[in-house]
Structure 1
Amino acid sequence: MKLHPLSGVWNALGRGVNVGSFGFFLGMMGVAAMDGPILLVFGLAALGFVLGVGYGAAYYLVFEYELTTETFDVTSGVLNRQHREIPFHRIQNIDVTQSLGKRLFGVAVLTVETAGGGSTEITLDFVSEEKAAWLQSTVRDRKRAAGGDDTTVTEDTDTTIDTDQSPRPLFELQSSELAVLAVAFLRPGAFFIALFGVPLMADLGSSLLLSIARPFGGPEQLSVSTLSPDSAIVLALVGIPLVIAGAWVVSALVTVVEYFGFKLGRAGEDLVYQRGLLQRYSGTIPVEKVQSLTITEPVLARPLGYAGLSVETAGYAPGQANEQGSQSAIPLSNRSRVFELAHEIEPFEDPTFVRLPKRARRRYFAQYLLVVGGLIAVGYLLSQVLGGFTLWYLPAVVLPITPIAAHYKWKHRGYHVGEEHVAFRTGYWRRTTQIVPYYRLQAVFTSRTIFQRRLGLATLTVDIASSTTLGGNSPTAYDINSDTADRLYTLLGERLQRTL
């Protein structure tokens, strides 16, 4: 089978422009070095364009893909021919992406990821929407057939007889839920966009910042020569809320664009979803690859009874550039609905969390006191060096809330050990509950800092086969009794062996 003809046109023109540009710069260097004729520049550019177009067209003509009864085959390459055969049982995800431009032309990009892989195995650019949908469903069916599910495939690569032709609908994100999702989740990357991404907004923000800060001792203008330490602090105190507000708006817009029209269904043993306003994305979550479930409850959504559900899968997670291994099953919905779907993916008993010992709360209070005290000390030292710096004591304003912050950090941490699963909870602003079945455990280990040892505390961490854990997000029970940590270390190891 061939790609859509637009693929040949796009590939030929793209390579033509690239090689032609190289010829243009090569000609410019030749003219400058040897004082050659200017026609050399345009001649090399034209020659490069023709060669690039020819190579791009040839690449399109020789590129072929085929579905056999057992493998997904791709043949490519002009000078260096490549032939790849990927067995269906190794395929983890087959996903379809449509940018706004591709949607106008009725084409899409299809990518194939394999279990345990760290990159895309196959990319089919410019596939028609109908062909992309057919490939996605057919590969999913044959993958199930390779795993022994009730699916029948024929020798004809364009024919599949399946007992479950269309995904069973599970969830559809409502407009009200999308609105709450946009407000409740603040994306860290939105701060950079708010600060540097829109120059016009930056100019408007600077004017607004000066007008608000001026009555409180802020500078008349943003100039290093007229900016005193005190006025800089006033600017920071006024500017931080403005940046947060701007980031919140940017984050909300990005969330709406990303999760607009989110739908989730189930096809056999796979969860399938689609989402996106400008760029439409359709993906698969293989249930058999799920390592853990994470239920997220942002502080703004908790009073409304909303939560989100994501799953950790083994290996690479396409479409989640900043969250490899983590995919959203339900962006946000009623908490009971979230738990209902979570139980369908992985049956588990509702966790009853054990709180941390109270001395852990004293530890958090001491940590906050040390941070505030350190800021005051640094500020005082700077005030002795820098003239005009008299607001060194400002960090002391937050001292009254440090015991409250310590209490809520302690209150929202805990762990649960069930018969078949272990669960961990942490976080106040974005409380997360991670549920891990024992048969998914890879390793269990404990750690004790010097300060934890003085209080008889320890941290217990379990490792699962998910790339997300490589970023430091492994399921963890923080600041539990040392004796409890040792006991759980042995118990979890025993239950892992029991499930194998």
Structure 2
Amino acid sequence: MLIEIVRGAPSTLLGVPALLAIGARAELWLVLAGTAVALLLAGAVRWLAWSRFTYALTADAVVIESGVLSRNRRTIPYERVADVGIERRLLQRLFGLAKVTLETGGAGADEGLLDSVSSAEAERLRNVLRQRRQTAQKVLSTAPDEGAPAPGPGTPLFAMSVPRVLLWGLFNFSLVWIAVGFGALQYLDGPLDVDSSELWKAAFAESGTVRSLPASALAGAIAAAGAIVLAVGIVAGVIRTTLREHGFTLTGEDGRLRRRRGLFTQSDAIIPLPRVQLAAIDSGPLRRRLGWSRLRAQLLGGDGAKGQQDLAPFARQDEVDRLLDVLRLRRAHPADMVAVARGHVWRALLRGVALPALLIAGATLVTPLALLASPLLLPLVAIALLDRRHHRYRLASGLLQVQRGVIGRATWIVPIARVQTVTLRRSWLQRRLGLASVLVDTAGGARLQGPNVHDLRLADGRALVDQLCRVDHAGHGDVTAPSLGDASGMA
């Protein structure tokens, strides 16, 4: 706690000028009393944070719990610990302490961080964790290799013809040309001897003339302008997509995928199958209705392609399934997945509807006409009510599958063996509702946008964490858990 107070001293000093300004107008005892109260509150917050931070070494994982208002329970299986780092800075050495960092290769910056443990405890943790990691990895290495099959050299897996690329471009509406146009205005002064400020003044001067037009003419002008913007946006999307995706082909290259695409700038990416951490399938409402979706793979960092890579930007369902077979993955039907708890609806309403409703309510204090915007809340309410229906998950056959989204919908398929860390998070509201979120971290992924399951019943969340961390010799999780049944009983 003392180290945290010293670390926060520079930011505290920034408030001294404001404190002196207040003290010049208030009595000295009030300033001293306010300072004392602020120090006591800061000390209380530090003490609460310290008292609520615990860690433990279980039979198969490191468990770290933290948080005062929002509680986090992070579980790191021993075989996922890539390295154990120890750092001793000046302040820590003065107190005989050290900072232990558990590195897993996941997306979180603080995947496993134990700040200010004793130097002896830091050394003990490093030795114990390295021994247990080696033991866990030896156990897993005795399992039969069930990795992805190796396609033969040059095996065609997926390709996009010119008509398909053009059709895909129709879905990639783009208004980048507007940004280009505004940027071009900054350079009109010199080459074309045009004063861009005078152009804006002339446009504003004509606004009075526009307002004087009949309502029908004004509505027609607005509709025409909207149609032009829409048409140009569609054309821009087709052009951008064609330049990027022309000649898209995906072939097998002895345990690797080779992707070629591009019209003028051609790219040739190699995607090693062992580096694939998960598959993500997404689609918009119109694409989904017409039977199109997009398949991407998340890769472990290293040589070659990194991050999220397109395997099939615009594919039919059977094409996606064939590529998933190559990745040794299989998606479940949404009807076979489990919906999250009903309390998710309340959280969805608060996240999606509360702020716009407050803005409208505040605007009514200025003008009663703001109430006319109330019908705009109805689509937000509908989306919030449907959100639980489409937020589902399934844990079976060594795979975690998570689906989220009402308008834009995404499905993640994650092999349990690729999971780096698992965090059980409970916000203040979730604790009131008896809910919890399970955050799943994989190497190379975006932590907040990954295969996370939000608003499970607490017992189901804990059971899911336990199963994700329980890996048998074949690398499969224990999938028989009655507590992962229908979550519809949550009130």
TM-score of the superposition, structure 2-length normalised?
0.54
The 1:266/1:450 distance shift into structure 2, 3 A limit, reads same
Task: Pick one of 374, 379, 398 that aligns with 1:420.
Answer: 398
Pairing 1:353–2:337 present: yes
Pairing 1:184–2:171 present: yes
The answer to whether the 8 Å contact 1:290/1:312 transfers is: yes
Q: 2 CA distance for matches of 1:223 and 1:274?
A: 52
The 1:396/1:251 distance shift into structure 2, 3 A limit, reads same
How far 1:498 sits from its partner (Å)?
6.3
How far 1:353 sits from its partner (Å)?
1.6
Structure 2 letter corresponding to 1:464: T
Pairing 1:342–2:320 present: no
String of CA shifts for 1:335-364, please: whole Å, max 9, x gaps.
121112112112336353211222312332
The answer to whether the 8 Å contact 1:355/1:414 transfers is: yes
Task: Pick one of 305, 327, 332 that aligns with 2:309.
Answer: 327
The answer to whether the 8 Å contact 1:349/1:418 transfers is: no
Query: Which has the higher mean CA deviation after the structures are superposed, 392-401 or 256-265?
Result: 392-401
Q: Secondary structure at the match of 2:326?
A: helix
The 1:371/1:395 distance shift into structure 2, 3 A limit, reads farther
The answer to whether the 8 Å contact 1:177/1:333 transfers is: no
Structure 1 letter corresponding to 2:438: L
1:143-182 correspondence to structure 2 within 5 Å: 166-182=153-169
Task: Pick one of 435, 438, 443 that aligns with 1:460.
Answer: 438
Pairing 1:495–2:482 present: no
Q: Secondary structure at the match of 1:461?
A: strand
Q: 2 CA distance for matches of 1:408 and 1:498?
A: 38
Task: Pick one of 233, 236, 250 that aligns with 1:250.
Answer: 236
1:10-409 correspondence to structure 2 within 5 Å: 166-186=153-173, 190-191=174-175, 193-199=176-182, 222=204, 247-315=233-301, 325-348=307-330, 350=332, 352-381=336-365, 383=366, 391-409=369-387
Aligned length: 302
Structure 2 letter corresponding to 1:344: V
Q: 2 CA distance for matches of 1:346 and 1:469?
A: 23
Q: 1 CA distance for matches of 2:170 and 2:392?
A: 27
String of CA shifts for 1:455-482, please: whole Å, max 9, x gaps.
222211111111x325x32211122222
Task: Pick one of 483, 487, 496 that aligns with 2:459.
Answer: 483
Structure 1 letter corresponding to 2:293: A
The answer to whether the 8 Å contact 1:422/1:438 transfers is: yes
Q: 2 CA distance for matches of 1:346 and 1:444?
A: 23
1:208 alignment partner in structure 2: none
Q: 1 CA distance for matches of 2:391 and 2:185?
A: 39
Q: 1 CA distance for matches of 2:347 and 2:204?
A: 42
Structure 1 letter corresponding to 2:475: T
Q: Secondary structure at the match of 1:332?
A: strand
TM-score of the superposition, structure 1-length normalised?
0.53
Structure 1 letter corresponding to 2:156: P
The answer to whether the 8 Å contact 1:460/1:476 transfers is: yes
1:469 alignment partner in structure 2: 446
CA-based RMSD: 3.7
The answer to whether the 8 Å contact 2:271/2:304 transfers is: no
Pairing 1:443–2:425 present: no
Q: Secondary structure at the match of 2:446?
A: helix
Q: Secondary structure at the match of 1:328?
A: strand
Q: 2 CA distance for matches of 1:362 and 1:492?
A: 27
Q: 2 CA distance for matches of 1:242 and 1:487?
A: 54
| Identity of matched residues, % | 23
String of CA shifts for 1:171-202, please: whole Å, max 9, x gaps.
1113343233223345xxx44x2432124999
Q: Secondary structure at the match of 1:445?
A: strand
The 1:457/1:275 distance shift into structure 2, 3 A limit, reads same
The 1:442/1:200 distance shift into structure 2, 3 A limit, reads closer
How far 1:415 sits from its partner (Å)?
0.7
Q: 2 CA distance for matches of 1:439 and 1:226?
A: 66
Q: 2 CA distance for matches of 1:269 and 1:426?
A: 31
String of CA shifts for 1:125-175, please: whole Å, max 9, x gaps.
xxxxxxxxxxxxxxxxxxxxxxxxxxxxxxxxxxxxxx9995111111133
Q: Which runs of 5 or more residues in structure 2 are unaligned?
A: 1-104, 108-149, 187-201, 210-217, 477-491
Q: 1 CA distance for matches of 2:171 and 2:262?
A: 19
The 1:419/1:398 distance shift into structure 2, 3 A limit, reads same
Q: Secondary structure at the match of 2:204?
A: coil
Q: 2 CA distance for matches of 1:422 and 1:223?
A: 60
The 1:368/1:336 distance shift into structure 2, 3 A limit, reads same
The 1:241/1:413 distance shift into structure 2, 3 A limit, reads farther
The answer to whether the 8 Å contact 1:423/1:435 transfers is: yes
The answer to whether the 8 Å contact 2:257/2:273 transfers is: yes
Q: 2 CA distance for matches of 1:202 and 1:185?
A: 26
Q: 1 CA distance for matches of 2:435 and 2:183?
A: 51
Structure 2 letter corresponding to 1:469: A
How far 1:331 sits from its partner (Å)?
1.0
String of CA shifts for 1:44-100, please: whole Å, max 9, x gaps.
xxxxxxxxxxxxxxxxxxxxxxxxxxxxxxxxxxxxxxxxxxxxxxxxxxxxxxxxx
The answer to whether the 8 Å contact 2:277/2:443 transfers is: yes
The 1:355/1:241 distance shift into structure 2, 3 A limit, reads farther
The answer to whether the 8 Å contact 1:417/1:423 transfers is: yes
Q: 1 CA distance for matches of 2:472 and 2:160?
A: 36
Structure 2 letter corresponding to 1:356: V
